[in-house]
A and B are shown apart, each in its own frame.
Chain A
Protein backbone atom coordinates (compact mmCIF):
# COMPACT_ATOMS: atom_id res chain seq x y z
CA UNK A 1 0.00 0.00 0.00
CA UNK A 2 1.15 3.50 -0.70
CA UNK A 3 1.56 6.23 1.87
CA UNK A 4 -0.43 9.31 1.04
CA UNK A 5 -1.16 12.75 2.38
CA UNK A 6 -4.49 14.48 2.61
CA UNK A 7 -5.15 18.13 3.25
CA UNK A 8 -6.82 21.00 1.47
CA UNK A 9 -8.66 24.18 2.26
CA UNK A 10 -7.00 24.46 5.64
CA UNK A 11 -7.91 20.97 6.89
CA UNK A 12 -5.25 19.16 8.90
CA UNK A 13 -2.78 17.15 6.87
CA UNK A 14 -3.01 13.49 7.74
CA UNK A 15 -0.95 10.67 6.34
CA UNK A 16 -2.63 7.38 5.60
CA UNK A 17 -2.65 4.51 3.19
CA UNK A 18 -4.88 4.16 0.17
CA UNK A 19 -7.73 1.72 0.63
CA UNK A 20 -7.07 -1.61 -1.01
CA UNK A 21 -8.72 -2.33 -4.32
CA UNK A 22 -8.99 -6.10 -4.24
CA UNK A 23 -12.50 -6.19 -5.69
CA UNK A 24 -11.23 -4.32 -8.75
CA UNK A 25 -8.97 -7.28 -9.41
CA UNK A 26 -11.95 -9.61 -9.19
CA UNK A 27 -14.17 -7.61 -11.52
CA UNK A 28 -11.33 -7.05 -13.98
CA UNK A 29 -10.73 -10.79 -14.15
CA UNK A 30 -14.40 -11.55 -14.77
CA UNK A 31 -16.17 -12.23 -18.04
CA UNK A 32 -19.91 -11.55 -17.90
CA UNK A 33 -22.18 -13.54 -20.18
CA UNK A 34 -25.68 -12.14 -20.54
CA UNK A 35 -28.25 -14.68 -21.68
CA UNK A 36 -30.45 -12.68 -24.02
CA UNK A 37 -31.76 -15.29 -26.42
CA UNK A 38 -35.15 -15.94 -24.82
CA UNK A 39 -38.43 -14.93 -26.33
CA UNK A 40 -40.37 -14.20 -23.15
CA UNK A 41 -43.57 -15.61 -24.57
CA UNK A 42 -45.64 -14.56 -21.53
CA UNK A 43 -45.29 -10.97 -22.69
CA UNK A 44 -47.54 -11.81 -25.62
CA UNK A 45 -47.56 -9.28 -28.44
CA UNK A 46 -44.62 -7.34 -27.00
CA UNK A 47 -42.26 -10.16 -27.94
CA UNK A 48 -43.64 -11.32 -31.28
CA UNK A 49 -41.11 -9.12 -33.07
CA UNK A 50 -38.29 -8.85 -30.52
CA UNK A 51 -36.53 -10.76 -27.76
CA UNK A 52 -37.59 -10.01 -24.20
CA UNK A 53 -34.33 -8.22 -23.25
CA UNK A 54 -35.03 -5.75 -26.07
CA UNK A 55 -38.48 -4.80 -24.78
CA UNK A 56 -38.56 -1.07 -23.99
CA UNK A 57 -38.82 -0.17 -20.31
CA UNK A 58 -39.00 2.92 -18.13
CA UNK A 59 -39.41 5.57 -20.80
CA UNK A 60 -36.13 5.39 -22.66
CA UNK A 61 -34.48 2.10 -21.82
CA UNK A 62 -34.65 -1.53 -22.82
CA UNK A 63 -34.73 -4.32 -20.28
CA UNK A 64 -31.19 -5.50 -21.04
CA UNK A 65 -29.79 -2.07 -20.08
CA UNK A 66 -30.12 -2.98 -16.39
CA UNK A 67 -27.88 -6.06 -16.53
CA UNK A 68 -25.36 -4.25 -18.74
CA UNK A 69 -25.33 -1.11 -16.58
CA UNK A 70 -24.86 -3.25 -13.48
CA UNK A 71 -21.83 -4.85 -15.14
CA UNK A 72 -20.23 -1.56 -16.15
CA UNK A 73 -21.01 0.12 -12.83
CA UNK A 74 -19.54 -2.86 -11.00
CA UNK A 75 -16.31 -2.70 -13.00
CA UNK A 76 -17.07 -5.80 -15.08
CA UNK A 77 -16.19 -4.50 -18.54
CA UNK A 78 -15.78 -7.68 -20.51
CA UNK A 79 -19.28 -8.64 -21.52
CA UNK A 80 -20.68 -11.15 -24.00
CA UNK A 81 -24.35 -11.04 -24.95
CA UNK A 82 -25.76 -14.36 -26.14
CA UNK A 83 -28.55 -13.76 -28.64
CA UNK A 84 -30.87 -16.03 -30.55
CA UNK A 85 -34.61 -15.29 -30.91
CA UNK A 86 -35.45 -12.30 -33.14
CA UNK A 87 -32.34 -10.47 -32.07
CA UNK A 88 -32.21 -7.67 -34.64
CA UNK A 89 -33.57 -4.84 -32.48
CA UNK A 90 -31.45 -6.07 -29.58
CA UNK A 91 -28.32 -6.09 -31.70
CA UNK A 92 -29.15 -2.66 -33.06
CA UNK A 93 -29.69 -1.30 -29.56
CA UNK A 94 -26.38 -2.74 -28.37
CA UNK A 95 -24.45 -1.37 -31.30
CA UNK A 96 -26.01 2.10 -30.94
CA UNK A 97 -25.98 2.32 -27.15
CA UNK A 98 -23.22 0.05 -25.93
CA UNK A 99 -20.43 0.67 -28.38
CA UNK A 100 -18.59 3.02 -26.05
CA UNK A 101 -16.34 0.43 -24.42
CA UNK A 102 -12.65 0.80 -25.14
CA UNK A 103 -11.24 -2.25 -26.83
CA UNK A 104 -7.73 -0.87 -26.36
CA UNK A 105 -8.26 -1.11 -22.61
CA UNK A 106 -9.58 -4.65 -22.77
CA UNK A 107 -13.23 -3.61 -22.50
CA UNK A 108 -15.99 -4.86 -24.78
CA UNK A 109 -19.63 -5.74 -25.24
CA UNK A 110 -19.45 -8.62 -27.66
CA UNK A 111 -22.38 -10.23 -29.46
CA UNK A 112 -22.46 -14.00 -29.31
CA UNK A 113 -25.26 -15.27 -31.56
CA UNK A 114 -25.83 -18.98 -32.05
CA UNK A 115 -23.32 -19.71 -34.82
CA UNK A 116 -22.81 -23.49 -34.79
CA UNK A 117 -19.38 -23.26 -33.21
CA UNK A 118 -19.49 -26.63 -31.47
CA UNK A 119 -22.28 -28.43 -33.30
CA UNK A 120 -24.84 -27.76 -35.97
CA UNK A 121 -27.66 -26.45 -33.84
CA UNK A 122 -29.28 -23.51 -32.14
CA UNK A 123 -28.70 -22.88 -28.46
CA UNK A 124 -30.50 -25.64 -26.55
CA UNK A 125 -30.78 -24.61 -22.92
CA UNK A 126 -28.78 -21.99 -21.04
CA UNK A 127 -25.77 -24.21 -20.36
CA UNK A 128 -25.57 -25.25 -24.00
CA UNK A 129 -25.61 -21.57 -25.02
CA UNK A 130 -22.52 -20.97 -22.91
CA UNK A 131 -20.91 -24.26 -23.97
CA UNK A 132 -21.24 -23.31 -27.64
CA UNK A 133 -19.01 -20.32 -26.89
CA UNK A 134 -16.46 -22.25 -24.86
CA UNK A 135 -13.58 -21.43 -27.19
CA UNK A 136 -14.37 -17.71 -26.95
CA UNK A 137 -14.46 -17.90 -23.15
CA UNK A 138 -11.11 -19.67 -23.13
CA UNK A 139 -9.64 -17.05 -25.44
CA UNK A 140 -10.63 -14.27 -23.03
CA UNK A 141 -8.98 -16.23 -20.21
CA UNK A 142 -11.13 -14.96 -17.31
CA UNK A 143 -10.65 -16.09 -13.73
CA UNK A 144 -14.41 -15.89 -13.09
CA UNK A 145 -17.47 -16.11 -15.32
CA UNK A 146 -20.58 -14.19 -14.33
CA UNK A 147 -23.75 -15.62 -15.89
CA UNK A 148 -26.69 -13.22 -16.03
CA UNK A 149 -30.16 -13.11 -17.49
CA UNK A 150 -30.84 -10.12 -19.69
CA UNK A 151 -34.47 -9.90 -18.73
CA UNK A 152 -34.72 -8.63 -15.16
CA UNK A 153 -35.00 -5.15 -13.66
CA UNK A 154 -32.69 -4.55 -10.68
CA UNK A 155 -29.56 -2.73 -9.57
CA UNK A 156 -26.81 -4.92 -8.18
CA UNK A 157 -23.13 -4.44 -7.54
CA UNK A 158 -21.62 -7.68 -8.81
CA UNK A 159 -18.40 -6.77 -6.97
CA UNK A 160 -20.01 -7.88 -3.72
CA UNK A 161 -21.09 -11.16 -5.30
CA UNK A 162 -17.56 -11.82 -6.52
CA UNK A 163 -16.12 -10.94 -3.11
CA UNK A 164 -18.47 -13.47 -1.50
CA UNK A 165 -17.46 -16.08 -4.08
CA UNK A 166 -13.78 -15.66 -3.29
CA UNK A 167 -14.27 -15.42 0.48
CA UNK A 168 -16.19 -18.70 0.49
CA UNK A 169 -13.72 -20.35 -1.89
CA UNK A 170 -16.77 -21.40 -3.85
CA UNK A 171 -17.01 -23.14 -7.20
CA UNK A 172 -20.35 -21.49 -7.84
CA UNK A 173 -22.10 -18.61 -6.09
CA UNK A 174 -25.79 -18.07 -6.75
CA UNK A 175 -27.51 -14.74 -6.10
CA UNK A 176 -30.81 -15.40 -4.41
CA UNK A 177 -33.76 -13.75 -2.76
CA UNK A 178 -36.79 -14.72 -0.74
CA UNK A 179 -40.01 -15.07 -2.75
CA UNK A 180 -43.51 -15.81 -1.44
CA UNK A 181 -44.19 -19.54 -1.39
CA UNK A 182 -47.10 -19.08 -3.79
CA UNK A 183 -44.72 -17.75 -6.48
CA UNK A 184 -41.85 -20.13 -5.75
CA UNK A 185 -42.77 -22.76 -8.35
CA UNK A 186 -41.57 -20.36 -11.08
CA UNK A 187 -37.98 -20.29 -9.74
CA UNK A 188 -35.07 -22.51 -8.88
CA UNK A 189 -35.50 -23.07 -5.14
CA UNK A 190 -32.56 -23.61 -2.81
CA UNK A 191 -31.97 -24.94 0.66
CA UNK A 192 -28.96 -23.58 2.49
CA UNK A 193 -26.90 -24.33 5.56
CA UNK A 194 -26.20 -21.64 8.19
CA UNK A 195 -22.90 -20.70 6.50
CA UNK A 196 -24.68 -20.07 3.19
CA UNK A 197 -23.63 -23.29 1.50
CA UNK A 198 -26.35 -24.62 -0.77
CA UNK A 199 -27.41 -28.13 0.17
CA UNK A 200 -30.45 -28.49 -2.06
CA UNK A 201 -31.50 -27.07 -5.42
CA UNK A 202 -34.62 -27.83 -7.43
CA UNK A 203 -35.65 -26.01 -10.58
CA UNK A 204 -39.30 -24.93 -10.61
CA UNK A 205 -40.53 -27.43 -8.02
CA UNK A 206 -44.21 -28.38 -8.04
CA UNK A 207 -44.38 -28.21 -4.23
CA UNK A 208 -41.67 -25.84 -2.99
CA UNK A 209 -40.78 -25.91 0.70
CA UNK A 210 -40.55 -22.76 2.80
CA UNK A 211 -37.47 -21.49 4.59
CA UNK A 212 -37.08 -22.75 8.17
CA UNK A 213 -37.14 -19.23 9.65
CA UNK A 214 -39.75 -17.89 7.17
CA UNK A 215 -42.11 -20.73 6.23
CA UNK A 216 -44.17 -18.50 3.92
CA UNK A 217 -41.13 -17.74 1.79
CA UNK A 218 -38.76 -19.83 -0.28
CA UNK A 219 -35.17 -18.99 -1.23
CA UNK A 220 -35.14 -18.50 -5.00
CA UNK A 221 -32.24 -18.37 -7.41
CA UNK A 222 -32.20 -15.13 -9.41
CA UNK A 223 -30.44 -16.81 -12.33
CA UNK A 224 -27.27 -14.87 -11.53
CA UNK A 225 -24.25 -17.14 -11.08
CA UNK A 226 -20.56 -16.61 -10.47
CA UNK A 227 -18.46 -19.56 -11.60
CA UNK A 228 -14.75 -20.07 -11.21
CA UNK A 229 -13.88 -20.23 -14.90
CA UNK A 230 -11.92 -23.50 -14.98
CA UNK A 231 -14.62 -25.20 -12.99
CA UNK A 232 -17.34 -23.94 -15.35
CA UNK A 233 -15.56 -25.07 -18.49
CA UNK A 234 -14.98 -28.51 -17.02
CA UNK A 235 -18.62 -28.92 -15.98
CA UNK A 236 -19.91 -27.67 -19.33
CA UNK A 237 -17.79 -30.21 -21.16
CA UNK A 238 -19.11 -33.00 -18.94
CA UNK A 239 -22.69 -31.82 -19.40
CA UNK A 240 -22.34 -31.68 -23.17
CA UNK A 241 -21.50 -35.39 -23.17
CA UNK A 242 -24.54 -36.35 -21.12
CA UNK A 243 -27.38 -37.36 -23.46
CA UNK A 244 -29.89 -37.22 -20.59
CA UNK A 245 -29.13 -33.58 -19.85
CA UNK A 246 -31.34 -30.68 -20.95
CA UNK A 247 -28.17 -28.56 -20.88
CA UNK A 248 -29.71 -26.04 -18.54
CA UNK A 249 -28.00 -24.35 -15.57
CA UNK A 250 -31.04 -24.66 -13.33
CA UNK A 251 -32.02 -28.19 -14.29
CA UNK A 252 -28.66 -29.85 -14.80
CA UNK A 253 -25.51 -27.93 -13.86
CA UNK A 254 -26.55 -26.57 -10.45
CA UNK A 255 -28.28 -29.66 -9.00
CA UNK A 256 -25.16 -31.70 -9.79
CA UNK A 257 -22.83 -29.01 -8.47
CA UNK A 258 -24.76 -28.85 -5.20
CA UNK A 259 -24.19 -32.58 -4.71
CA UNK A 260 -20.51 -32.62 -5.61
CA UNK A 261 -18.97 -29.17 -5.21
CA UNK A 262 -18.90 -25.94 -3.23
CA UNK A 263 -22.02 -23.95 -4.11
CA UNK A 264 -22.87 -20.89 -2.01
CA UNK A 265 -25.88 -18.60 -1.90
CA UNK A 266 -25.51 -14.82 -1.80
CA UNK A 267 -28.74 -13.14 -0.67
CA UNK A 268 -29.59 -10.04 -2.67
CA UNK A 269 -30.25 -7.31 -0.13
CA UNK A 270 -30.26 -3.57 -0.04
CA UNK A 271 -26.71 -2.92 1.23
CA UNK A 272 -27.90 0.03 3.34
CA UNK A 273 -30.96 -1.41 5.01
CA UNK A 274 -30.37 -5.14 4.78
CA UNK A 275 -33.94 -5.51 3.49
CA UNK A 276 -34.86 -7.40 0.35
CA UNK A 277 -33.64 -5.36 -2.61
CA UNK A 278 -35.68 -4.30 -5.63
CA UNK A 279 -35.87 -6.98 -8.33
CA UNK A 280 -38.59 -7.46 -10.88
CA UNK A 281 -39.18 -10.21 -13.39
CA UNK A 282 -41.23 -8.29 -15.95
CA UNK A 283 -42.18 -11.54 -17.63
CA UNK A 284 -45.91 -10.98 -17.90
CA UNK A 285 -47.95 -8.09 -19.24
CA UNK A 286 -49.24 -7.36 -15.73
CA UNK A 287 -45.80 -7.30 -14.12
CA UNK A 288 -44.39 -5.25 -17.02
CA UNK A 289 -47.14 -2.66 -16.70
CA UNK A 290 -46.87 -2.59 -12.90
CA UNK A 291 -43.07 -2.13 -12.95
CA UNK A 292 -43.43 0.81 -15.32
CA UNK A 293 -46.17 2.33 -13.16
CA UNK A 294 -43.98 2.00 -10.04
CA UNK A 295 -41.42 4.33 -11.60
CA UNK A 296 -43.91 7.18 -11.59
CA UNK A 297 -44.23 7.23 -7.80
CA UNK A 298 -42.81 10.19 -5.86
CA UNK A 299 -40.26 7.91 -4.20
CA UNK A 300 -40.02 4.84 -6.43
CA UNK A 301 -38.24 1.78 -5.12
CA UNK A 302 -36.14 1.75 -8.28
CA UNK A 303 -34.39 5.11 -8.40
CA UNK A 304 -33.48 5.87 -12.02
CA UNK A 305 -32.30 9.33 -11.01
CA UNK A 306 -29.41 8.08 -8.87
CA UNK A 307 -26.27 9.49 -10.46
CA UNK A 308 -24.10 7.16 -8.40
CA UNK A 309 -25.53 4.11 -10.20
CA UNK A 310 -26.58 5.29 -13.65
CA UNK A 311 -28.55 3.09 -16.03
CA UNK A 312 -27.11 3.63 -19.50
CA UNK A 313 -29.09 3.26 -22.69
CA UNK A 314 -29.36 4.42 -26.26
CA UNK A 315 -31.78 7.29 -26.74
CA UNK A 316 -33.16 8.72 -29.93
CA UNK A 317 -32.02 12.19 -30.85
CA UNK A 318 -35.16 14.25 -30.44
CA UNK A 319 -36.13 17.65 -29.02
CA UNK A 320 -37.55 18.03 -25.50
CA UNK A 321 -41.11 17.02 -24.76
CA UNK A 322 -43.63 19.73 -25.56
CA UNK A 323 -47.02 20.51 -24.01
CA UNK A 324 -49.13 22.94 -26.01
CA UNK A 325 -52.39 24.87 -25.54
CA UNK A 326 -53.46 26.38 -22.28
CA UNK A 327 -57.10 27.17 -22.91
CA UNK A 328 -59.93 26.06 -20.68
CA UNK A 329 -61.00 22.63 -21.96
CA UNK A 330 -57.98 22.42 -24.26
CA UNK A 331 -54.94 22.22 -22.05
CA UNK A 332 -51.92 20.11 -22.94
CA UNK A 333 -50.58 18.64 -19.72
CA UNK A 334 -49.06 15.60 -18.07
CA UNK A 335 -49.18 14.94 -14.32
CA UNK A 336 -47.65 12.11 -12.26
CA UNK A 337 -46.04 10.90 -15.46
CA UNK A 338 -42.74 10.30 -17.19
CA UNK A 339 -42.55 11.87 -20.64
CA UNK A 340 -39.58 11.33 -22.93
CA UNK A 341 -37.92 13.48 -25.51
CA UNK A 342 -39.71 14.08 -28.78
CA UNK A 343 -43.20 13.79 -27.27
CA UNK A 344 -45.96 16.30 -28.00
CA UNK A 345 -49.04 16.52 -25.81
CA UNK A 346 -51.36 18.85 -27.67
CA UNK A 347 -54.45 19.98 -25.78
CA UNK A 348 -54.69 16.57 -24.14
CA UNK A 349 -54.36 15.16 -20.63
CA UNK A 350 -51.79 12.54 -19.68
CA UNK A 351 -52.09 11.27 -16.14
CA UNK A 352 -50.07 8.60 -14.30
CA UNK A 353 -48.53 7.28 -17.49
CA UNK A 354 -45.18 6.62 -19.14
CA UNK A 355 -44.66 8.08 -22.62
CA UNK A 356 -41.63 6.80 -24.52
CA UNK A 357 -39.92 8.91 -27.18
CA UNK A 358 -41.79 10.66 -30.01
CA UNK A 359 -45.27 9.91 -28.74
CA UNK A 360 -48.04 12.32 -29.83
CA UNK A 361 -51.27 12.76 -27.93
CA UNK A 362 -53.73 14.94 -29.78
CA UNK A 363 -56.51 17.27 -28.80
CA UNK A 364 -59.12 16.32 -26.19
CA UNK A 365 -57.64 12.89 -25.60
CA UNK A 366 -57.10 11.42 -22.17
CA UNK A 367 -54.35 8.92 -21.36
CA UNK A 368 -54.35 7.46 -17.84
CA UNK A 369 -52.42 4.64 -16.13
CA UNK A 370 -50.85 3.65 -19.45
CA UNK A 371 -47.52 2.88 -21.06
CA UNK A 372 -47.10 4.26 -24.59
CA UNK A 373 -44.04 2.87 -26.36
CA UNK A 374 -42.07 4.94 -28.91
CA UNK A 375 -43.76 6.68 -31.81
CA UNK A 376 -47.32 5.96 -30.74
CA UNK A 377 -49.85 8.47 -32.04
CA UNK A 378 -53.05 8.94 -30.08
CA UNK A 379 -55.55 10.73 -32.29
CA UNK A 380 -58.07 13.33 -31.09
CA UNK A 381 -60.84 12.47 -28.61
CA UNK A 382 -59.36 9.14 -27.52
CA UNK A 383 -59.60 7.67 -24.03
CA UNK A 384 -56.82 5.27 -23.14
CA UNK A 385 -56.79 3.71 -19.69
CA UNK A 386 -54.61 0.98 -18.16
CA UNK A 387 -53.08 0.00 -21.47
CA UNK A 388 -49.74 -0.81 -23.02
CA UNK A 389 -49.59 0.50 -26.58
CA UNK A 390 -46.86 -1.09 -28.70
CA UNK A 391 -44.33 0.92 -30.71
CA UNK A 392 -45.70 2.74 -33.74
CA UNK A 393 -49.43 2.20 -33.14
CA UNK A 394 -51.67 4.88 -34.55
CA UNK A 395 -54.93 5.16 -32.67
CA UNK A 396 -57.72 6.65 -34.74
CA UNK A 397 -59.79 9.58 -33.47
CA UNK A 398 -62.29 8.57 -30.81
CA UNK A 399 -60.61 5.26 -29.91
CA UNK A 400 -61.55 3.99 -26.45
CA UNK A 401 -59.32 1.41 -24.75
CA UNK A 402 -59.41 0.10 -21.20
CA UNK A 403 -62.96 1.11 -20.37
CA UNK A 404 -64.91 -1.97 -21.47
CA UNK A 405 -62.79 -5.12 -21.01
CA UNK A 406 -65.23 -7.30 -22.98
CA UNK A 407 -65.02 -5.06 -26.00
CA UNK A 408 -61.22 -4.85 -25.63
CA UNK A 409 -60.92 -8.64 -25.55
CA UNK A 410 -62.50 -8.86 -28.98
CA UNK A 411 -59.87 -6.61 -30.55
CA UNK A 412 -56.84 -6.67 -28.26
CA UNK A 413 -55.02 -8.72 -25.63
CA UNK A 414 -56.31 -8.22 -22.07
CA UNK A 415 -54.26 -9.53 -19.14
CA UNK A 416 -55.70 -11.25 -16.04
CA UNK A 417 -55.32 -7.97 -14.11
CA UNK A 418 -57.08 -6.00 -16.82
CA UNK A 419 -54.15 -4.43 -18.70
CA UNK A 420 -54.90 -4.05 -22.41
CA UNK A 421 -52.09 -4.59 -24.89
CA UNK A 422 -52.47 -3.04 -28.34
CA UNK A 423 -50.07 -3.85 -31.16
CA UNK A 424 -50.00 -2.58 -34.76
CA UNK A 425 -51.06 -6.02 -35.97
CA UNK A 426 -54.22 -5.85 -33.87
CA UNK A 427 -55.00 -2.54 -35.55
CA UNK A 428 -54.28 -4.03 -38.98
CA UNK A 429 -51.34 -1.68 -39.29
CA UNK A 430 -48.59 -3.59 -41.00
CA UNK A 431 -45.51 -1.62 -40.18
CA UNK A 432 -42.13 -2.41 -41.64
CA UNK A 433 -39.68 -1.09 -39.10
CA UNK A 434 -37.54 -2.29 -36.29
CA UNK A 435 -39.03 -2.67 -32.85
Chain B
Protein backbone atom coordinates (compact mmCIF):
# COMPACT_ATOMS: atom_id res chain seq x y z
CA UNK B 1 0.00 0.00 0.00
CA UNK B 2 1.29 3.41 -0.90
CA UNK B 3 2.43 5.60 1.98
CA UNK B 4 0.36 8.72 2.42
CA UNK B 5 0.91 11.99 4.16
CA UNK B 6 -1.00 15.06 5.11
CA UNK B 7 -0.95 16.65 1.67
CA UNK B 8 -2.66 13.65 0.15
CA UNK B 9 -6.35 14.47 0.39
CA UNK B 10 -7.19 10.77 0.76
CA UNK B 11 -4.81 10.36 3.67
CA UNK B 12 -6.78 11.71 6.61
CA UNK B 13 -8.21 8.87 8.69
CA UNK B 14 -11.72 9.38 10.10
CA UNK B 15 -11.49 11.03 13.50
CA UNK B 16 -13.84 11.39 16.38
CA UNK B 17 -14.98 15.01 16.15
CA UNK B 18 -15.68 15.06 19.88
CA UNK B 19 -12.16 14.17 20.90
CA UNK B 20 -9.44 16.74 21.47
CA UNK B 21 -7.11 15.04 19.05
CA UNK B 22 -9.88 14.94 16.46
CA UNK B 23 -9.79 18.68 16.05
CA UNK B 24 -6.13 18.96 15.19
CA UNK B 25 -3.51 16.57 16.42
CA UNK B 26 -0.90 19.30 16.73
CA UNK B 27 -3.18 21.80 18.44
CA UNK B 28 -2.95 23.20 21.92
CA UNK B 29 -5.13 20.49 23.49
CA UNK B 30 -2.80 17.80 22.23
CA UNK B 31 0.24 19.72 23.45
CA UNK B 32 -1.16 20.23 26.94
CA UNK B 33 -2.30 16.63 27.13
CA UNK B 34 1.22 15.37 26.41
CA UNK B 35 2.80 17.91 28.78
CA UNK B 36 0.48 16.63 31.50
CA UNK B 37 1.46 13.04 30.77
CA UNK B 38 5.14 13.94 30.85
CA UNK B 39 4.75 15.79 34.11
CA UNK B 40 2.75 12.95 35.66
CA UNK B 41 5.58 10.59 34.74
CA UNK B 42 8.04 12.85 36.50
CA UNK B 43 9.56 14.11 33.27
CA UNK B 44 10.15 17.62 32.07
CA UNK B 45 7.16 18.74 29.94
CA UNK B 46 9.23 19.42 26.87
CA UNK B 47 6.99 18.18 24.03
CA UNK B 48 7.08 20.46 20.93
CA UNK B 49 8.87 23.11 22.93
CA UNK B 50 12.18 24.60 22.03
CA UNK B 51 13.91 21.97 24.11
CA UNK B 52 13.44 19.71 21.09
CA UNK B 53 16.38 21.41 19.41
CA UNK B 54 18.71 19.84 21.95
CA UNK B 55 16.77 16.65 22.57
CA UNK B 56 18.84 13.56 23.35
CA UNK B 57 15.93 11.14 23.83
CA UNK B 58 15.73 8.89 20.77
CA UNK B 59 13.26 6.57 22.50
CA UNK B 60 10.73 9.21 23.47
CA UNK B 61 7.27 7.97 22.38
CA UNK B 62 6.35 11.42 21.02
CA UNK B 63 9.63 12.02 19.20
CA UNK B 64 8.30 11.92 15.61
CA UNK B 65 5.44 14.26 16.35
CA UNK B 66 7.61 16.51 18.44
CA UNK B 67 10.42 16.83 15.90
CA UNK B 68 8.14 17.68 12.98
CA UNK B 69 8.90 21.16 11.60
CA UNK B 70 6.76 23.52 13.62
CA UNK B 71 6.55 27.25 13.14
CA UNK B 72 7.43 29.33 16.16
CA UNK B 73 3.83 30.38 16.78
CA UNK B 74 2.67 26.73 16.84
CA UNK B 75 5.07 25.67 19.60
User: Is the Cβ of B72 less than 8 Å from the Cβ of A27?
Assistant: yes
User: Is the Cβ of A19 less than 8 Å from the Cβ of B49?
Assistant: yes
Contacts of A8-64 to chain B: CB distance below 8 A = 8-9, 11-12, 14-24, 27
Q: Does A75 lie at the interface of the complex (its beta carbon under 8 Å from any beta carbon of B)?
A: yes
User: Is the Cβ of B49 less than 8 Å from the Cβ of A163?
Assistant: no
Checking B3, B33, B35, B68 against A272 with a beta-carbon cut-off of 8 angstroms, the contacting residue is: B68
In the complex, what residue of chain B is closest to A300 when comparing beta carbons?
Answer: B7
CB-CB under 8 A from B4, the residues of chain A are 298-299
Contacts of A244-272 to chain B: CB distance below 8 A = 271-272
**Ranked 7 nearest A-B pairs via Cβ:** A19-B49, A305-B7, A16-B39, A75-B72, A23-B50, A73-B71, A309-B69
In the complex, what residue of chain A is closest to B19 when comparing beta carbons?
Answer: A9
Q: Do A304 and B50 form a contact, CB below 8 Å, given A6-B32, A271-B68, A309-B71?
A: no
Give A204 Cβ to nearest chain B Cβ, in Å. Answer: 30
Q: Does A405 lie at the interface of the complex (its beta carbon under 8 Å from any beta carbon of B)?
A: no
User: Is the Cβ of A14 less than 8 Å from the Cβ of B72?
Assistant: no
User: Is the Cβ of B36 less than 8 Å from the Cβ of A272?
Assistant: no
User: Is the Cβ of A303 less than 8 Å from the Cβ of B5?
Assistant: yes
Query: What is the size, in residues, of chain B's interface with A at 8 Å between Cβ atoms?
Result: 36
User: Is the Cβ of B51 less than 8 Å from the Cβ of A24?
Assistant: no
User: Is the Cβ of B6 less than 8 Å from the Cβ of A303?
Assistant: yes
Cα-based distance from A277 to B39 in the complex (angstroms): 32
Give B49 Cβ to nearest chain A Cβ, in Å. Answer: 3
CB-CB under 8 A from A72, the residues of chain B are 71-72
Per-residue CB contact flags for chain A residues 319-343 toward chain B (1 = under 8 Å, else 0) read 0000000000000000000000000
Per-residue CB contact flags for chain B residues 37-60 toward chain A (1 = under 8 Å, else 0) read 011100011110111111000000
Query: What is the size, in residues, of chain A's interface with B at 8 Å between Cβ atoms?
Result: 40
Give B22 Cβ to nearest chain A Cβ, in Å. Answer: 12
* Residues on B facing A (Cβ under 8 Å): 2-8, 20, 26, 29, 32-33, 35-36, 38-40, 44-47, 49-54, 63-64, 67-72, 74
Checking A20, A299, A309 against B70 with a beta-carbon cut-off of 8 angstroms, the contacting residue is: A309
* Residues on A facing B (Cβ under 8 Å): 6-9, 11-12, 14-24, 27, 72-75, 155, 157, 159-160, 163, 167, 271-272, 298-300, 303-306, 308-310
Cα-based distance from A119 to B17 in the complex (angstroms): 63
Cα-based distance from A271 to B35 in the complex (angstroms): 20
In the complex, what residue of chain B is closest to A21 when comparing beta carbons?
Answer: B50
Give A222 Cβ to nearest chain B Cβ, in Å. Answer: 17
User: Is the Cβ of B40 less than 8 Å from the Cβ of A305?
Assistant: no
User: Is the Cβ of B69 less than 8 Å from the Cβ of A308?
Assistant: yes
